[in-house]
Structure 1
Amino acid sequence: MKKSTSLLLSGMLVSGMVLGTIVTPATVHASDDAAAVTQADTDVVNNVTYFDRSGATVGANSTKVTGTKGAKITAVPDGYALADGETAVFGNDNANVGVKVTPMISAKVNFVDQKGNLVKSETINGGDGNAYTMSTLPNGCSWPADANKTITLEQGKEYNVKVNRQVTNTIIFKTADNSEAGRTQVFGEKAGDTVTLIADQIPAGYTVDSNDLTLQSDGNTQFIAVTKNVEGITPFTATVRVGSSATTLYTVNGKAITNRLLAPGSDWKTANKLVLNGKAYYQVATTEWVPADKVTVVSQTDNNTDTNSTVEKADRKTVTTKNVAYTPLYDGNGKEVTNRGLGASSDWATDQMQTINNVKYYRVATNEWLKASDIA
């Protein structure tokens, strides 16, 4: 509020002089209003007496409760809830206030479908005599158009609540070898509806051909094929050539394909390399892979960082060089290390072996490999 001042003049004005009384009223400042608002928001302490629905006192005759004047009193004794309709608020400091409360109780709710069959039972909690509105449904159910979702809780009473049960199918996920990878349930209004599997329903680490499926009759079980996600696939653009004999193809899971072979000496373009259980494969068709140790890379793009190799656990613990003055070493890509070599008839521990372009190597240091042909 802006500062305001008024003058009340009484009397007569004679020759420029005022005869009478000048009255100056009190001045009101904006800060005075602010103080008044702050005072209204100040916490107060009230003496609260709790009563049950019969009017009997609950607990002590009065309990000191702190709150803001005009705010609803929500604090209640342990094991009680505010009775429906109770609207008591904090009064002036040290005011006496009565609050109606009701004991907390538990009640059993049975969800019953349109055929009268029990779908699920659950326990709910609330104040005795208070209204309770249900917000969740059992999986695969919906509310009827005339559903009454609100009940009045009464001690010792059991409630049957009507729901519409949807068509339910059990989905069992199977791998190529018929092993079960997991299962879930799907729901819909009627058989023939299309439902979509969400990511959480598909077993972790697996992929389905399609997330959409058609509901069958209620209670049916459907089997869905899944493929285990494969790690270790990296881009590798090249042309590979099959060796002197026909070569078996494999799936991405390492399973042999029995009705197809690659002809001897034939060339195949590849875009990806797979390492599965320590063995390398090259992709020569959408679902067909050829073992890296059965082909030779005859051309590849410059941006490939991989080699035509397969790494696996060594088939021996030590290797011994031949009795020659100097035995060369090679890096993990089969390139000769020019500044190091091994002495004659020396023993070296090994943990891995790999084949690069049909040449076998044993690892004798972090990135140093010895050709199998140089072993005694």
Structure 2
Amino acid sequence: MKKYHALSLFSVLFLLVPCTTLIDVSAKTTTYNYFPTDNGPIDTSYSGIVTTIGNKPFLTLYTFNNNQFSLIRNRAVAPKTAWFYDQTVSRNGEIYYRIATNEWIRFDELEGFSGHHNRKHFEKKTITIRIGPVLPAPVFDGKLNDTGKTLAVGSEWIAFEKPAYLGDNAYYQIGKDEFVAGERVINLH
């Protein structure tokens, strides 16, 4: 017991002595980068949900062709809405998230996003769905409440490959807690 007390007393005294020497410490770290390399290839290693900012009446969308972005003039995204993204790319210092088939939104028009690394064994595959046949398709939340949003006839959306079964019917998830009825989907690819 006396050795223990002597060791404890030595430890306390050692801790009370101020440290005047700086010590360099290095450690190996791993950085998970949610942002793609500027002017690099399309990054599919992350996917998740992005939420648009709320201080604009609408948010612009872009197409990505021949390695550059062009403004889409006849479509926009509503403020304060959540969208599933499955690809990111950076061009000339601007970061873009793909939220629909060849429809991208810039990082500066987002106020929040959550993402995860797409590990092959946990990956949810995505498909493109086309809405039909005559009327816009209503969007429901996971409790089958109508969100008030609709998807235009003929529009294409990114959805999880396997439908979710809510009640007795199949629904495709197109965003965070956003689903469209499988009966409204006319084309999967």
| Structure with larger RCO (C-alpha < 8 A, sep 6+) | 2
Q: In proportion to residue count, which structure has more helix?
A: 2
TM-score, length basis structure 1: 0.19
TM-score, length basis structure 2: 0.37
Choose 1 or 2 for highest CA Rg.
1
